[in-house]
Structure 1
Amino acid sequence: MKKERKMRYVDKPWLKSYQIGPYKNIKHSLKPYPQKPLFKILDEAAEAHPNQKAYLYLGQEVKYSELKLWVDKLATALNNLGLKKSDRVMVFLPNCPQFIISDFAVLKIGAVVVPCALNEQVPELKRQAVESEARAIICLDGFLELVKKIKKDTKIEYIIVTSITDYSPEESEPQEIKGTHNFRRLIANAVANPPVVEINPMEDLAILTFTGGTTGFPKGVMTTHFQRMSNILQGLPWMMSPLPGFKGKASILVAVPIFHALGHWVVQSGINWGLRIILIPDPRDIPMIAKLMNEFRPFMVIAVPEQLRRLIDPKINPTGLQRLQTMIISGSAELPEKIAADLEAKIGMPVSEGYGLTETSPCVTFNISCFSKLTGFLPKKKSGIGVPLPDTEIKLINPETGEEVPFGEIGEIWVKGPQVMKGYWPTCGKGLTEDGWLKTGDLAEMDEDGYFYIVGRDKDMINKKGEKIYPLIVERTLAEHEAVAMAVTIGVPDLEKPGSEKIKVFVRIKSAFKGKVSEWELIEFCQDKLPRHAIPDFIEFRDKFPLTKVEKISRKELREEEIKKLKEGN
Structure 2
Amino acid sequence: MTIDRVWLKSYPKEIPHSIDYEERTLQSYLKQAAEEFPSHIAVQFLGKEMTYRELYEQAKQFGNQLKTLGISKGDRVAIMLANSPQSIISYYGALMIGAVVVQTNPLYVERELEHQLVDSGAKVIVCLDLVFPRVSKVRKATQLEYVIVTSIKDYLPFPKNVLYPFVQKKQTGMKIDITYNENTLSFKKFLQGGVTTEPSEDVSPTDDLALLQYTGGTTGPAKGVMLTHANLVANTIQGLHWMYKSKRAEEVILCVLPFFHVYGMSAGMNLAIMNAYKMVILPKFNPKDVLKAIEKHKVTLFPGAPTMYVGLINDPSIQDYNLTSVEACISGAAPLPLEVQQKFEQLTGGKLVEGYGLTETSPVAIATPIWGKRKQRSIGIPWPDTDVMIISAETGEPADVNEVGELAVRGPQVMKGYWNRPEETAQVFKDDWFLTGDMGYMDEDGYFYIVDRKKDMIIAGGFNIYPREIEEILYEHDAIKEAVVIGAPDAYRGETVKAFIVLKEGRSVSEEELDAFCRKHLAAYKVPRLYEFREELPKTLVGKILRRVLVEEEKKKAEQQKVSNE
Pairwise same-fold verdict (TM > 0.5): yes
Q: What is the rounded CA distance, in whole Å, between the counterparts of 1:119 and 1:188 in structure 2?
A: 28
State how 1:93-108 maps to structure 2 within 5 Å: 93-108=81-96
**Could you say which residue in structure 2 is the equivalent of 1:34?**
22
2:227 to 215, 223, 231: 223
**5 Å matches for 1:127-166?**
127-166=115-154
Q: Once the two structures are superposed, what CA deviation does each residue of 1:493-514 show, in whole Å capped at 9, x if it has no partner?
A: 22124xx211111222333431
| Residue 237 of structure 1, CA deviation | 0.7
Task: Report what 2:34 is aligned to.
Answer: 46
Report the CA distance between 1:277 and its aligned residue: 0.7
Q: Report the more deviating stretch, 144-153 or 429-438.
A: 429-438
Aligned partner of 2:245 among 242, 247, 256: 242
Match of 1:273 in 2: 275
Match of 1:242, as an amino acid? Answer: K
User: What amino acid maps onto 1:296 in structure 2?
Assistant: H
**Equivalent residue for 2:173?**
none
Partner of 1:254: 255
How far apart, CA to CA, are the structure 1 residues paired with 2:299 and 2:318?
18
Deviation (angstroms), 1:481: 2.6
CA distance in 1, matches of 2:430, 2:399: 21
Deviations 1:256-300 (A, max 9, x none): 1110000111201110011011110112x2211111011112111
- Measure, in 1, the Cα distance between the counterparts of 2:358 and 2:271: 16
Q: In the alignment, does 2:387 pair up with 1:390?
A: no
Q: Could you tell me how far apart the structure 2 residues matched to 1:350 and 1:482 are?
A: 22
Correspondence for 2:63 among 75, 83, 86: 75
Aligned residue type for 1:480: E
1:442 has 2:438 as partner: yes
The yes-or-no answer on 1:562 pairing with 2:554 is yes
Structure 2 residue runs without a partner (length 5+): 166-176
- The DSSP-based 3-state class of the residue aligned with 1:353 is strand
Match of 2:534 in 1: 542
Given that 2:287 and 2:315 are in contact with CA atoms closer than 8 Å, whether structure 1 keeps it comes out as no
Which residue does the alignment assign to 1:121?
A: 109
2:502 and 2:537 in contact (8 A); partners too:
no
**Structure-1 separation of matches of 2:481 and 2:128:** 37
Structure 1: which 5+ runs fail to align?
1-7, 372-377
Instruction: Tell me which of 56, 61, 78 is aligned to 1:90.
Output: 78
In the alignment, which of 222, 231, 236 is matched to residue 232 of structure 1?
Answer: 236
Provide the rounded CA distance (Å) in 1 between the counterparts of 2:342 and 2:383.
Answer: 25
**Is residue 114–residue 209 contact of structure 1 (8 Å, CA) maintained in 2?**
yes
- Contact 1:91 1:139 (C-alpha < 8 Å) held by counterparts: yes
| 1:16 maps onto 2:13 in alignment | no
- Check 1:249–1:545 CA distance in 2 against 1; reply closer, same or farther (3 A cut): same
2:329 maps to 1:323? no
In the TM superposition, what are the counterparts of 1:97-496 in structure 2 within 5 Å? 97-169=85-157, 170-171=160-161, 177-178=180-181, 179-239=183-243, 241-243=244-246, 246-265=247-266, 266-283=268-285, 285-315=286-316, 319=320, 322-368=323-369, 370-371=370-371, 378-427=372-421, 430=426, 432-496=428-492
Name the CA distance, whole Å, in 2 between partners of 1:218 and 1:50. Answer: 39
Deviating more after overlay: 522-531 vs 416-425: 522-531
Q: CA RMSD in A?
A: 2.1
| Corresponding letter in the other structure for 1:41 | Y
What fraction of aligned residue pairs are identical, expressed as a percent?
39
Q: Conserved in 2, the CA contact under 8 Å of 1:297 and 1:326? A: no
* 1:159-208 deviation digits (Å, cap 9, x = unpaired): 11111111220346999723412212222122112431111111111100
CA distance in 2 between counterparts of 1:140 and 1:567 reads 40
- Kept after mapping to 2: 8 A contact 1:13/1:450: yes
Question: Contact between 1:37 and 1:199, CA under 8 Å: does it hold in 2?
Answer: yes
- Residues 1:318 and 1:558: Cα distance change in structure 2 (over 3 Å): farther
1:90 Cα deviation (Å)? 0.4
Q: Give the whole-Å Cα distance in 2 for the aligned partners of 1:459 and 1:434.
A: 19
1:61 Cα deviation from its structure 2 partner: 1.2
- Answer yes or no: is the 8 Å Cα contact 2:392–2:403 preserved in 1: no
Match of 1:3 in 2: none
Distance in 2 (alpha carbons) for counterparts of 1:168 and 1:431: 47
What SS class does the counterpart of residue 111 from structure 2 fall into? helix
DSSP-derived class of the 1:166 partner: helix
TM-score, with structure 2 as normaliser: 0.92
Q: 2:522 aligns with which of 530, 539, 547?
A: 530
TM-score with structure 1 length normalisation?
Answer: 0.91
**Number of corresponding residues:** 543
Aligned-partner residue type, residue 358 of structure 2: L
